[in-house]
Structure 1
């Protein structure tokens, strides 16, 4: 009988001898996604707070105060993202997410119990700052604890949790006072996250980067199962540590960031995040109730906001499957173009409303609702999830801690500018001009993606990194064999692989490592 590694691997895979534990990965992913659930609550709270304060006869809110109440959260995001890289390197993703919970609870209590508008603004600034410190670490934590077979599904969980938090926030805010909403929804996710992470180990990737190899091996076995070959991972980590590929000073990371293979994807992803904000999706979510109010629709504005939240949640759940089926680039282009069409229709409605061209009786009152639902569905399929997906796939791991924080800082600055300017844009340009401007940015995002963004579906991360390296010019005097070798090395990208093939390859690679460590036939986990 042939006892080559390939034969032994196939037999072991077929009979299921190698089984990795997944429930700790699901628990860790759920707790890490609570950070995004809190972000959804913050966005929903922005949409609920201003209309309820405007309805209070004892308060007279100026346009400047309204925009400050909404945009102050993005100022906290900028500050939090600027510090997130430093905190992540010092504390690790799991400890950072756990320790931000108690001060976040105190900040929400400040908002809920505030007797003055200035205290509300201060509390919202602190809440957004604390949540922003975790924006650059939850994706890293999930990717490090997840097995290859479950990584795609688990990586989509944070965006789903964000949509769930948005939907819950809209629904609760429509039924209760904003202070009660802050007290209930502000405390719940932070308490759950802090209590849950207390019992979980740190992510293995951060531990190996800090030379804690024994703790990293224990972490691998906790999240993947006792049968996981942690020793092999530790040997590779030690080799990387000797070459100082995983760790270095900030100056070392900055020197790596100016290299072509790091600088090009950083600039590319930064452009994607800027255009994502300028497409208007987050502005629409933050001002959803106000937008429905000025549309004059007969449907309750809070119910419309809940419908938007439901649409975003359903589309985010479906987006991960569509991204693997059609590819990131195709999905992002299609999402941007459909979003532009929906915004053009919405702007046309407001233009006709301003010019008194609408038919009497509110016969077209359904247009803004349908246009916003179509826009939210399209944006949630591509613009929202794919940009965050590309952040993890295009940025090299060697510069990820610093580069992600820098990208998200720029993202937060543009986010702040858009939210701060939205009320003034609707006054100066009108609602129609504002939404047509968002539509133009959606078209620009589609063109930007089509011309510059590479397709990463089914491509290994090391192959994605090779896209941005400078390719040498083949020697014209080289023989045909040399030319063919160069074409094979620097030619077309690897063909996309389906999910089943990738899963089988992951299992085969794992069993091959186990088989190579055995002197005879493959032994069962019990025999090991």
Structure 2
């Protein structure tokens, strides 16, 4: 599990860093998937049930995405203005309040207010990927940032299990408890070193890196990457200029476009409505009423297990290979599922009526393929390629568009089924996944094994990753070196 030559205490502290930062993804998953088990519970609630119409259900499920679109700019501003970790601390408090409102709701208005607040706040949790990317050793950076999606999967499974056995109020109360734990852990981990350095606190940045590298003396930290402002300016990087001059440059927008495209394919591959309407999806796909929650828990467990495997593979197989394999498997699975549902429900093939297990198996295979690449890789890439000079702004743009995509996928899912049929909706998702496969082949950068500075310079050069020459040379023991006439010369095994 450890990278080459990494002491055990460094590996452990960096895993703790990832857990503490990415616990926000657990809460985001709980916010998004809450409706999957809460809606069936709300329908039979003596107090709330009569107030919950189909229109209200659609808004309970999708309002968090709309609120997230609005919250993205606010969270982006907080990250740019106060620092990445500080922005997480700012959103944790109202997030806790939002969960309490949901748990204590006496009417739909109170419930919707809590959902709005939680949706608004979780728009900012993605910056933990940037914090982890800056502090993690490059040999384990990929798996640590897949930890974001791993925690997301934990959150989904948590909601599925708790929602199967407890009421919607208990679900919300338990999520409030997790939010409180996250808020406390954020005081333990350091701030983003880039945020500190750019705010005129190089010593604090050095201390943050020393914490992550388990160095007793901060003076032993290699700060060379943070002291290259002049060389970056010579290469055209947007440093030393005002904020708006920085953000309106190709260097900033090129990685934003790549990450937004990845998030589009993530949101529009169908996973959002499938996760958020899990009980209804499995029921309509053919699961017995008594088994729909069991299918849902299996679905969440497979999602978690496959993401864990991806976590082990990402720093060996690379980002592009996992993403392309994932998109290909989703395309095939969704096509097959669509054909089956068309033959069963539209054509009415008698032999298929007893195969109610088949669509459920397809959905499990679907989430397996999703968890290997389409789910985690966009978060890994986001933490690695967004330009350091405008990460708050970049994250804001990415997240607001992500939430809009998610809202559209959620809000119109059931309406699309009514118009196109289940098979038509799944075929639409298959087309999106195929386009994602093409995008990954032609435009997705490979960042495996590269320092953040190397990634940034390569983005500036406009590489197409499958054709780029190797930027990093490694000896048989996994140490980086620069080729010279007399053989390899070891260079700093820098953390970044």
Q: Give the TM-score normalised by the residue count of structure 2.
A: 0.86
Residues 55, 458 of structure 1: CA spacing in aligned structure 2 closer, same or farther, 3 A cutoff?
Answer: same
407, 414, 419: which one aligns with 2:405: 414
Alpha-carbon offset, residue 470 of structure 1: 5.9
Unpaired runs of at least 5, structure 2: 483-488
Residues 446, 303 of structure 1: CA spacing in aligned structure 2 closer, same or farther, 3 A cutoff?
Answer: same
- Tell me, in whole angstroms, the C-alpha distance in 1 between the residues paired with 2:32 and 2:6: 47
Q: Which residue of 2 aligns with 1:279?
A: 269
Residues 498, 418 of structure 1: CA spacing in aligned structure 2 closer, same or farther, 3 A cutoff?
Answer: farther
CA contact 2:306–2:368 (8 Å) conserved in 1: yes
CA contact 2:100–2:173 (8 Å) conserved in 1: yes
Q: Which residue of 1 aligns with 2:206?
A: 217
Q: Which residue of 2 aligns with 1:180?
A: 170
Deviations 1:427-462 (A, max 9, x none): 111111111111111111112222322333344544
298, 304, 310: which one aligns with 1:313: 304
Q: Which residue of 2 aligns with 1:253?
A: 246
Q: Which residue of 2 aligns with 1:207?
A: 196
285, 290, 302: which one aligns with 1:295: 285
- Tell me, in whole angstroms, the C-alpha distance in 1 between the residues paired with 2:481 and 2:473: 10
Q: Which residue of 2 aligns with 1:194?
A: 183
- 1:509 counterpart = 2:485: no
Residues 144, 390 of structure 1: CA spacing in aligned structure 2 closer, same or farther, 3 A cutoff?
Answer: closer
- Tell me, in whole angstroms, the C-alpha distance in 1 between the residues paired with 2:230 and 2:172: 45
Alpha-carbon offset, residue 356 of structure 1: 6.4
- Tell me, in whole angstroms, the C-alpha distance in 1 between the residues paired with 2:444 and 2:190: 36
Alpha-carbon offset, residue 170 of structure 1: 0.4
- Tell me, in whole angstroms, the C-alpha distance in 2 between the residues paired with 1:83 and 1:17: 38
427, 446, 466: which one aligns with 2:437: 446
Q: Give the TM-score normalised by the residue count of structure 1.
A: 0.81
Alpha-carbon offset, residue 173 of structure 1: 0.3
CA contact 2:142–2:448 (8 Å) conserved in 1: no
Q: Which residue of 1 aligns with 2:368?
A: 377
Q: Which residue of 1 aligns with 2:260?
A: 270
Alpha-carbon offset, residue 399 of structure 1: 3.1
Alpha-carbon offset, residue 283 of structure 1: 1.9
Unpaired runs of at least 5, structure 1: 1-13, 472-490, 514-528
Deviations 1:117-151 (A, max 9, x none): 1211111110111121232x201111222233442
- Tell me, in whole angstroms, the C-alpha distance in 2 between the residues paired with 1:264 and 1:145: 24
Larger radius of gyration: 1
Residues 63, 269 of structure 1: CA spacing in aligned structure 2 closer, same or farther, 3 A cutoff?
Answer: same
Deviations 1:204-262 (A, max 9, x none): 2221111112222332322322356646645663553996966753213223xx22x44
CA contact 1:49–1:178 (8 Å) conserved in 2: yes
- Tell me, in whole angstroms, the C-alpha distance in 2 between the residues paired with 1:79 and 1:366: 40
Aligned residues: 476
- Tell me, in whole angstroms, the C-alpha distance in 1 between the residues paired with 2:11 and 2:312: 20
Alpha-carbon offset, residue 116 of structure 1: 0.8
124, 134, 149: which one aligns with 2:125: 134
Residues 512, 78 of structure 1: CA spacing in aligned structure 2 closer, same or farther, 3 A cutoff?
Answer: closer
- Tell me, in whole angstroms, the C-alpha distance in 1 between the residues paired with 2:258 and 2:112: 34
Residues 329, 496 of structure 1: CA spacing in aligned structure 2 closer, same or farther, 3 A cutoff?
Answer: farther
1:383 is paired with a residue whose SS is coil
- Tell me, in whole angstroms, the C-alpha distance in 1 between the residues paired with 2:207 and 2:264: 40
CA contact 1:20–1:227 (8 Å) conserved in 2: no
2:373 is paired with a residue whose SS is helix
Residues 330, 496 of structure 1: CA spacing in aligned structure 2 closer, same or farther, 3 A cutoff?
Answer: farther
